[in-house]
Amino acid sequence: MLQRLGLPFSCISPNIEEARQANEAPLDLARRLARAKAQRIASLHVEDWVIGSDQVAVLGETDSDPQILGKPGNSSNCIRQLEESSDRTVVFLTAVAVLRHADRAAFEFVDTTRVRFRRLERETIARYVALESPLDCAGGFKSEGLGISLCESIESTDPTALVGLPLIRLAAALRVAGFQLP
């Protein structure tokens, strides 16, 4: 997705444990993981701007007893998650941290996207999972692919956020950091 901004970059895995802490709210989890990822790499590349991001999918509203839908990992978990999402709203919280260790500069933000799933039959879900295999995606679907057909609506201020990186606000942060973007 960063290629769309036309800036040179490299990708480095921060190897951060992504487990939720006890009683951690979904918003806090997304922010903590985005920041931790960026901090880990920024400490190794102190003069570079580093972008860390993380996305948390929450079934229903995010305030009372949230049910986090992680990366399903296998087909049966994916099918179960999509069955639970059928005819319901899933809130995707995409947190981004842009850091430079050398001068302790930082920009952080969270995009909230609400996806309303249409009523899904088990056969529809199984067919989708077999075709697209979205096992490594929070919530178990890919809006940038065939998963869009599972949706009734998507509410967001940034259509790229659901794919994992809100480029509108990221571009704004990078411009403030001194990058030339149109």
Under 8 Å between Cβ of 76 and 99: no
Asked if pLDDT for residue 10 goes beyond 70, the answer is yes
Q: What is the pLDDT of residues 27-48, one digit of tens each?
A: 999 999 999 999 999 999 999 9
Would you call 44 exposed, middle or buried from its count of C-beta atoms within 10 A (0-12, 13-18, 19+)? exposed
For the whole model, what pTM was predicted? 0.93
How far, in whole angstroms, is CA 10 from its chain's centroid?
A: 19
The residue from 28, 48, 54, 136 that is catalytic is 54
Task: Read off the tokens for 106.
Answer: 């930082």
Asked if pLDDT for residue 63 goes beyond 70, the answer is no
- List the domains of the chain with CATH numbers: 2-176 (3.90.950.10)
Q: What is the pLDDT of residues 92-124, one digit of tens each?
A: 999 999 999 999 999 999 999 999 999 999 999
pLDDT band at 61 (very low <50, low <70, confident <90, very high): low
Q: What's the pLDDT at 60?
A: 77
Residue 176: count other Cβ atoms within 10 Å of its Cβ: 11
Q: Does the active-site annotation cover 54?
A: yes
Distance from C-alpha of 63 to C-alpha of 66, rounded to nearest angstrom:
6
